[in-house]
Structure 1
Amino acid sequence: MNKLLVIGSTVVDVIIPVDHLPRTAEDVNVYEQRMAMGGCAFNAWSMLRHFGVPAILFSPVGTGVYGDFVRAGLAARGTSSPIPTPQRENGCCYCFVEKGGERTFVSVRGAEYAFRREWFDGLDLTGVDGAYLCGLEVEDPSGDCIIGFLEDHRALRVYFAPGPRIRSLQRDRLDRILNLHPVLHLNEEEAVSAALDLTGTAPRDAAEAAAALRRRTGGPVIVTLGERGCLYDTAEGQGWVPGGPARVTDTIGAGDSHIGTVMARLQQGASMEQALRAANYVSAAVVSVRGARLAEEDFAAVLSALRKEGLA
């Protein structure tokens, strides 16, 4: 099985449950807080690891208390980043989780978003046939070197999961990424907004948005719909894959786990529909636990259920 290159951030999530987000000048009580490994790239890589798909986590890890936490977390999982330690503190993400499970992020950006071209030049791409990319590191001043690397290696299948950053990325950089015909992964709101911005035509629904985006990129488009599942638009046709009810504890990492599962199953030879059915199941499991990822024992139960359904 070929490898995937996972480009992006690894941070510390500081998870803070609150009754509600405060208004300006309002005081709210925080009953607990805890630190956990996080970051879009790390979360997606973790799902690849769960499925046994080989991947390189290409993520700068800086200095300071958060950098030390990340290095220890990676070591506990038997890996490390091949990037030399930048002399800059690693950042963190404050994850405020309201009673209904919805999360709001407040990020301290650090070394994890600052890439250098010489790091890519030293990569051994033997057996690597795909690359994952989020949106956060692309908007950083150093994001140009990431896109340049991908443009120099067009044989890599690009998975692009920019999240809400698709609405704020520099247009020239976004166009360069979309010209690589990526597998584009967005939620419904992001897809409708992006289709309008990129085509000038207002789609009536997520399916029309996906079709418009595929015409622009020439690559597959996946749109997640929460508990309604997801839909896809590829050269082979459109489809909708139902989801199911989930007991929502928090939504941290739901999208990352979804695209991570899609990548894993496609690397293992599954069809797009099979990969999305598995991804819907996994992301429903992720929102039912605290934090962005499933523990080993939780994933073992999920994997057993997927195998019974013929999805793994």
Structure 2
Amino acid sequence: MKHGKRNGHFLGPGDRGPDHERRKIPQPGQDVFADEAGIHVGASYNTLHAVRQMGVDARHAGILGTGPWADTIRRVFESEGIRHVGPTDESADSGFCVALTDGTAERTFISMRGAEARGDESTFQSVEPADGDVVHISGYTFAHHTGEGLRAFMRRTAPNRRFLALFDPSPVVADIDDETFGEMVEYRPVWSCNEREAVLIAGRLGLPMHQGTFRTLIERMARRLDSALIVRVGKGGAWLARPGAEAELVAGFPVHAIDTNGAGDCHAGVLCAELSRGTGLREADKERFAAGTGTFSESARKRRRHNRK
């Protein structure tokens, strides 16, 4: 799909909250001292940050709370030029997440829900994407009450939709109820996921995973979804599949893993930024690896520098 160059916006209705990062993981019952620790805004902020790094307007349409965690988020948003266009909950603070990262850069998360999870059907009623905008939808939003607002947004905007939607299903795609999953398939966003999530989606679609190669599996998935599908395969790059076409592997760039926290979000942000400019999907996916690797690596380096202060 080829588009003329344009200046669209990025809208992210997803969750975000501060990450309390610890760089050592205890065994059950064990007491350990972390080598490094820090507090950083994470979750969908990583995507918004990558979009801003690409010079594209970024707007957060999710719920922000009232309290110290929400204040932390607002300060970071203001410093990066990210606009909050969503509701404010005056009765609850935003949630947070404890992120544990071991010596191999593998992550473990413990999350506490906050204001972002207290939405309803009216949460996104004022969100009106313009032609050429890109809306990033996170599967995590369907894990709590705010998902009802996202479903209402999809029903309202589905007829004659002129903006592009990108769905990052996350591992919770395995637990989304059948009705919601069916509505997402009918909405026909671009699907962007990793290998594990692709297997979960294939299972939801009723596709056998023991027939043929992984490539043929994602080709069948794209046909069943009737939409483009991007599957990240780590350092191997990403598969891009479209309905009725052969899947192709877009090569990645080698990078030393400092911290994989937010890597997929950063890559999604670069992809969305390029799509908002009218870049074709294949070219945008290439740019995602070229720019996203640098954006992600720099974000990780900033976190490490901050932790040492």
TM range (shorter): 0.7 to 0.9
TM-score, reference length from structure 2: 0.86
2:122 partner SS = helix
Aligned AA for 1:178?
A: V
Partner of 1:157: 164
Instruction: Say if 1:232 and 1:240, in contact at 8 Å, map to a contact too.
Output: yes
Instruction: Say if 1:192 and 1:209, in contact at 8 Å, map to a contact too.
Output: no
Partner of 1:229: 237
Q: Within 1, Cα distance between the matches of 2:147 and 2:298?
A: 33
4+ residue segments displaced more than 4 Å: 292-295
Instruction: Say if 1:4 and 1:54, in contact at 8 Å, map to a contact too.
Output: yes
Identity of aligned residues (%): 24
| Cα shift at 1:272 | 2.1
Aligned AA for 1:62?
A: G
Partner of 2:3: none
Partner of 1:99: 103
Aligned AA for 1:53?
A: V
Aligned AA for 1:131?
A: V
2:187 partner SS = coil
**101-110 or 266-275, which deviates more:** 266-275
| Cα shift at 1:66 | 0.8
Partner of 1:75: 78
Unaligned runs of 5+ in 2: 1-6, 305-309
Q: Within 1, Cα distance between the matches of 2:20 and 2:303?
A: 17
Aligned AA for 1:161?
A: D
Instruction: Say if 2:132 and 2:278, in contact at 8 Å, map to a contact too.
Output: no
Q: How many residues align?
A: 292
TM-score, reference length from structure 1: 0.86
Distance 1:228 1:103, change over 3 A: same
Q: Within 1, Cα distance between the matches of 2:261 and 2:157?
A: 32
Q: Deviations over 1:153-196 (max 9, x none)?
A: 12032210021111122222111111111100110121123212
Unaligned runs of 5+ in 1: 296-312
Q: Which has the bigger relative contact order, CA under 8 A and spacing at least 6?
A: 2
Distance 1:117 1:104, change over 3 A: same
| Cα shift at 1:132 | 1.0
2:192 partner SS = strand
Q: Within 1, Cα distance between the matches of 2:56 and 2:11?
A: 11
Distance 1:79 1:277, change over 3 A: closer
User: Which of 256, 263, 268 pairs up with 2:272?
Assistant: 263
Instruction: Say if 1:257 and 1:293, in contact at 8 Å, map to a contact too.
Output: no
User: Which of 41, 54, 59 pairs up with 2:57?
Assistant: 54
Instruction: Say if 1:248 and 1:287, in contact at 8 Å, map to a contact too.
Output: no
| Cα shift at 1:126 | 4.1
Partner of 2:178: 171
| Cα shift at 1:293 | 7.9
| Cα shift at 1:237 | 4.1
